[in-house]
């Protein structure tokens, strides 16, 4: 018995070559696929290794596999490998329930938008669109982790995993503030703004808890929400638990004076009343109250992850007409299966991101956003 190895780029040609050299009575042990080294950004070609066992004369009386039957089995193995590694993309696209609301089957967007990608890159794009990531955003991010596949002349991933590819794109296109922390020795003021019901008060006190308990910082909280029944009482209760100063203020001058009294503190966190982004009059009132500290305040816009894309972009646009946004603070990630906003908003608006709220518990359910954390929420 002798084992011979044949190498080349076409599996069928290798089998035929083995048959010509050793005769029809050969036994295929197995085959391997090897990807050659990349050349710059070009993806290496796939090379096959075929392991063949020659048959002795004594063994010729035993039944042997027909070449046609063997080729069919090899083709079945290849097909099975492809099906297990790649999703049925065409089937997914053709199914309306798998399409996010911004893609329509009528205009062909679901099939034509990714025609320059192939393989694992196409799989990753399909996953992101399924999580409500806008197609153009998905393309921009995924392409950062791609190289040009020579065989197809299309873009495919050049990273070991899909998550690594997505992280590369996120690092390229999204800015992260990191944790709110004191670095330069100056007083830091953060005002939490946003629509009603997104969780501003709860998440403000998650930040306060981390700063007080973990960082040992001097923190004070000011609430300008004197409209909602019970809002001030809830905030004061949190402040009492943390044993930090709490103030309820509705006038710009008084706010300025209070901040002056707290100049020796490390952080001042300001809770504002929730207002519809279409209520210009009420947004103007919030701006008026904060106007005395406009250059000192970092405005943190809180956005719920269960918003639709169009609604979230409208919120950002309207609030930006009144405030200079320091960062986006995402809430209620636990209430959605399609958190595409984590990518869509920062990529399209170019605003930095800071934190994400993962539940209602104070202070546990809070994470600092990083490229790795963001990718995990999109890919699981």
243: left (phi over 0), alpha (psi -120 to 50) or beta: left
Mean pLDDT for the chain? 82
Task: Give the residue, 202 or 83, on which the prediction is more confident.
Answer: 202
User: What CA–CA distance (Å, rounded) separates 147 from 33?
Assistant: 19
C-alpha 354 chain-centroid distance: 14
Tell me the three-class secondary structure of 201-264, residue by residue: HHHHHHHHHHHHHHCCCCEEEEECCCCCCCHHHHHHHHHHHHCCCEEECCCHHHHHHHHHHCCC
pLDDT-above-90 percentage for the chain: 51
CB 113 within 8 A of CB 88: no
pLDDT in tens, 1-56: 567 888 887 777 888 888 888 877 677 766 677 766 655 555 567 777 777 776 55
User: What CA–CA distance (Å, rounded) separates 180 from 198?
Assistant: 20
Q: Determine which of 190-199, 208-217, 271-280, 345-354 has the lowest per-residue pLDDT on average.
A: 271-280
Q: How far is CA 127 from CA 25, 269, 359, in A?
A: 47, 38, 24
Q: Please check the confidence at residue 95 and state whether its pLDDT lies above 50.
A: no
**Domain spans of the chain?**
2-85, 89-173, 188-379
pLDDT in tens, 150-174: 888 999 999 999 999 999 999 999 9
C-alpha 172 chain-centroid distance: 13
CB 331 within 8 A of CB 199: yes
User: What CA–CA distance (Å, rounded) separates 171 from 158?
Assistant: 16
Return the closest-CA partner of residue 373 out of 215, 136, 176, 121.
176
Q: Count the neighbouring beta carbons within 10 Å of the beta carbon of residue 212.
A: 19
Report the pLDDT value the prediction gives residue 97, as an integer from 0 to 100: 44
The CATH class that applies to domain 188-379 reads alpha beta
User: What CA–CA distance (Å, rounded) separates 165 from 359?
Assistant: 28
Mean pLDDT of 134-146: 96
Q: Count the neighbouring beta carbons within 10 Å of the beta carbon of residue 345.
A: 25
Report the pLDDT value the prediction gives residue 52, as an integer from 0 to 100: 74
Name the 3-class secondary structure at 216: coil
Q: Please check the confidence at residue 59 and state whether its pLDDT lies above 50.
A: no
Q: How confident is the model at residue 68 (pLDDT cuts 50, 70, 90)?
A: low
pLDDT in tens, 69-90: 666 666 666 566 555 544 443 4
Phi, psi of 81, deg, nearest 5 = -65, -40
- Angle formed by the axes of helices 280-290 and 252-261, to 10°? 40
Q: How confident is the model at residue 111 (pLDDT cuts 50, 70, 90)?
A: very low
pLDDT-above-70 percentage for the chain: 76
Q: How confident is the model at residue 361 (pLDDT cuts 50, 70, 90)?
A: confident
Count, residues in the chain? 380
DSSP secondary structure string for all residues of 249-279: ---HHHHHHHHHHTTTSSEEEEE-----TT-
Report the pLDDT value the prediction gives residue 73, as an integer from 0 to 100: 65
Query: Tokens 């070991």 belong to which residue?
Result: 160
pLDDT in tens, 209-250: 999 999 999 999 999 876 655 567 778 888 999 999 999 988
CB 375 within 8 A of CB 141: no
Query: Tokens 């008026």 belong to which residue?
Result: 288
User: What CA–CA distance (Å, rounded) separates 140 from 173?
Assistant: 8
User: What CA–CA distance (Å, rounded) separates 5 from 49?
Assistant: 7
User: What CA–CA distance (Å, rounded) separates 54 from 188?
Assistant: 78
Q: How far is CA 19 from CA 3, 22, 33, 54, 275, in A?
A: 13, 5, 20, 10, 78
Mean pLDDT of 338-344: 96
């Amino acid at each position: 018995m002798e084992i011979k190895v044949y190498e080349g780029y076409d599996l069928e040609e290798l089998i035929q070559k083995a048959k010509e050299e050793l005769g029809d009575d050969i036994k295929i042990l197995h085959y391997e696929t090897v990807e050659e080294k990349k050349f710059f950004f070009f993806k290496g070609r796939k090379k096959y290794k075929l392991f063949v066992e020659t048959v002795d004369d004594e063994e010729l009386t035993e039944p042997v596999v027909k070449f046609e039957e063997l080729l069919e089995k090899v083709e079945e193995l290849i097909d099975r490998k492809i099906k297990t590694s790649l999703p049925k993309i065409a089937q997914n696209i053709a199914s309306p329930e798998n399409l996010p609301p911004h893609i329509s089957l009528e205009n062909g967007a679901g099939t034509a938008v990714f025609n320059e990608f192939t393989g694992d890159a196409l799989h990753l794009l399909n996953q992101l669109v399924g999580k409500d990531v806008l197609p153009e955003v998905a393309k921009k991010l995924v392409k950062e982790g791609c190289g040009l596949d020579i065989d197809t002349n299309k873009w495919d991933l050049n990273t070991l995993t899909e998550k690594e590819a997505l992280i590369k794109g996120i690092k390229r296109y999204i800015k992260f503030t990191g944790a709110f922390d004191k670095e330069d020795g100056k007083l830091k003021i953060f005002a939490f703004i946003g629509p009603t019901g997104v969780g501003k008060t709860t998440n403000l006190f998650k930040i306060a808890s981390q700063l007080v308990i973990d960082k040992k910082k001097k923190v004070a909280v000011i609430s300008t929400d004197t409209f909602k029944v019970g809002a001030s009482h809830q905030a004061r209760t949190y402040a009492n638990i943390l044993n930090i100063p709490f103030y309820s203020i509705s006038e710009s001058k008084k706010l300025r004076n209070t901040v002056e009294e707290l100049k020796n503190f490390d952080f001042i966190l300001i809770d504002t009343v929730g207002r519809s982004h279409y209520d210009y009059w009420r947004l103007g009132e919030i701006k008026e109250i904060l106007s005395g500290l406009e250059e000192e305040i970092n405005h943190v816009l809180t956005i719920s992850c269960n918003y639709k894309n169009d609604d979230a972009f409208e919120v950002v646009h309207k609030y930006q007409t009144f405030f200079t946004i320091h960062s986006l603070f995402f809430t209620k990630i636990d209430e959605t299966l399609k958190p595409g906003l984590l990518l869509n908003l920062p990529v399209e608006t170019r605003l930095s991101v800071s934190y994400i709220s993962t539940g209602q518990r104070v202070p546990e359910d809070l994470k600092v956003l990083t490229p790795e954390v963001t990718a995990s929420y999109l890919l699981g």
